[in-house]
Amino acid sequence: MSGGIRTARAIQQTRRPQGMPVPRDFAEVELTLPPLEAGDALVENLWLSVDPYMRECMDTEWELNTPLEGRSIGRVIDSRSAELPVGTLVFHRDGWRTHTVLTAADARVLPRYEGIATESFLGLLGGTGLTAYVALTRVARLREGETVFISAAAGGVGTAAGQLARLLGAGRVIGSTGSPEKARRLTEELGFDTAFDYHADPSIGARLAAAAPDGIDVCLDNVGGAHLEAAIGAMREFGRIAWCGAIAQYNTGSAPAAPGNLFDLVEKSVRLEGFLVANHRDAQEEWEAFAVPHLRAGRITDRLSVSEGFERTVDAFLGMLRGENTGKSVVRLSPADRGDAAEEAGEAPCRPCTQDSTSAASDSVPPAVSAPSGG
**pLDDT recorded at residue 257:** 65
For the residues 256-270, what does the mean pLDDT come to?
90
- Domain co-membership, 103 together with 146: no
% residues pLDDT > 70 (the chain): 85
**pLDDT recorded at residue 325:** 86
Strand boundaries in the chain, DSSP class E: 7-13, 26-32, 40-49, 72-79, 89-92, 99-103, 108-109, 147-150, 172-177, 194-197, 216-221, 235-243, 271-274, 304-308, 328-332, 355-356
Measured in residues, the chain has a length of 375
Phi then psi dihedrals of residue 217, to 5 deg? -100, -35
Answer whether residue 286 is part of any domain. Answer: no
- Say yes or no to pLDDT of 118 above 90: yes
Domain that holds residue 60: 2-113+301-369
Phi then psi dihedrals of residue 70, to 5 deg? 175, 155
Among 224, 244, 278, residue at a domain's last position: 278
- Domain co-membership, 170 together with 85: no
Residues in Cβ contact with 148 at an 8 Å cutoff, skipping those fewer than 6 apart:
136, 142, 161, 165, 170, 172, 173, 174, 216, 217, 218, 219, 220
- Domain co-membership, 261 together with 139: yes
Give the count of domains, the chain: 2
CATH number at residue 205: 3.40.50.720
- Domain co-membership, 246 together with 306: no
CATH number at residue 363: 3.90.180.10
- DSSP assignment of 25-85 equals GEEEEEEEPPPP-TTEEEEEEEEEE--THHHHIIIIISPTTSB----EEEEEEEES-TTS-
- Domain co-membership, 251 together with 316: no
* pLDDT, tens digit (0-9, with 9 covering 90-100), for 195-254: 999 988 779 999 999 999 999 999 999 988 899 999 999 999 999 999 997 765 655 655
**pLDDT recorded at residue 349:** 42
- Domain co-membership, 254 together with 137: yes
Answer whether residue 38 is part of any domain. Answer: yes
Q: Is the pTM of this model over 0.75?
A: yes
- Say yes or no to pLDDT of 73 above 90: yes
- Say yes or no to pLDDT of 336 above 70: no
* pLDDT, tens digit (0-9, with 9 covering 90-100), for 140-185: 999 999 999 999 999 999 999 999 999 999 999 999 999 999 999 9
Answer whether residue 159 is part of any domain. Answer: yes
Answer whether residue 22 is part of any domain. Answer: yes
- Domain co-membership, 57 together with 32: yes
- Domain co-membership, 241 together with 351: no
Q: What mean pLDDT value characterizes the chain?
A: 88
Answer whether residue 86 is part of any domain. Answer: yes
Say which DSSP state 122 is in: T
What is the residue type of 40? D
Answer whether residue 122 is part of any domain. Answer: no
